[in-house]
Copies of this chain bind each other. A is one copy, B any other.
Amino acid sequence: MIPGEPAHWERGGHKVLATTRVLELREVSFRHPKRGTQKDFMVAHAPDWVNVVARTPDDRIILVRQFRFGSNALSLEVPGGVIEKGEDPVHAGVRELLEETGYGGGTARLLGSVLPNPAIMDNRCHIILVDGAVPSGPMNWDPDEEIEVSLATVAQALDWARTGKITHSLSVAALMLFEGVRRV
């Protein structure tokens, strides 16, 4: 009843449906390797993103709250943003943390990576752990950003990710990866 390995479709060319600041919407041609059938699928092409779990020396998680245009609502999240072309993910995480919250310092490392949505997006989101972050400089927001910075205990942040106060799936995933290494 359970079939074998699902086929890996062969990706062909694409045409661009729309280009925005955030992503390029593409119609990509795929061919099934066995059936030979050809079909177009939508793929949103975007740069990789970074999300940051940053912990202060007194074991608090740095959170940001901002208006989100997709959900049309305020959203409580871990800091994050877009990795610049050629930028190292850890560097991007440290940069975004400082820009959005003014926190820096400590040590930073890659905690893991997830796919925002492998069904329809081609990018990855790297999760960076910053340990020992302290207030380090002025914030530097993008023109449309207004960010409320707050601190939560680790237990609070994990609880909020599980009970719907933190709802951004990438923040939830970031906190889950963090919880995994925290217990080691």
Which residue numbers of A lie inside 8 Å of B, CB to CB? 1-9, 11, 17-18, 20-23, 25, 27-28, 30, 39, 41-44, 65-75, 102, 112-122, 125, 135, 139, 144, 146-150, 161-164, 167-170, 172-173, 175-177, 179-180
Contact = CB atoms under 8 A, between A and B. Distances in A.
- Count copies of this chain in the complex: 2
Nearest to A65: B6
B172 A6 contact: no
B39 A144 contact: yes
Nearest to A66: B6
Contacts of A20: 17, 25, 27, 42
A168 B114 contact: yes
Nearest to A147: B6
10 contacts: A1-B139, A8-B73, A18-B25, A22-B42, A28-B69, A71-B121, A71-B122, A75-B115, A75-B118, A116-B117
A2 B149 contact: yes
B42 A125 contact: no
Contact of A164 (B6, B28, B112): B112
Contact of A6 (B17, B70, B146): B146
A161 B176 contact: yes
Contacts of A176: 161-162, 172-173, 175-176, 179
Given A18-B18, A120-B22, A180-B163, A115 B67 contact: no
A163 to B, nearest CB: 7
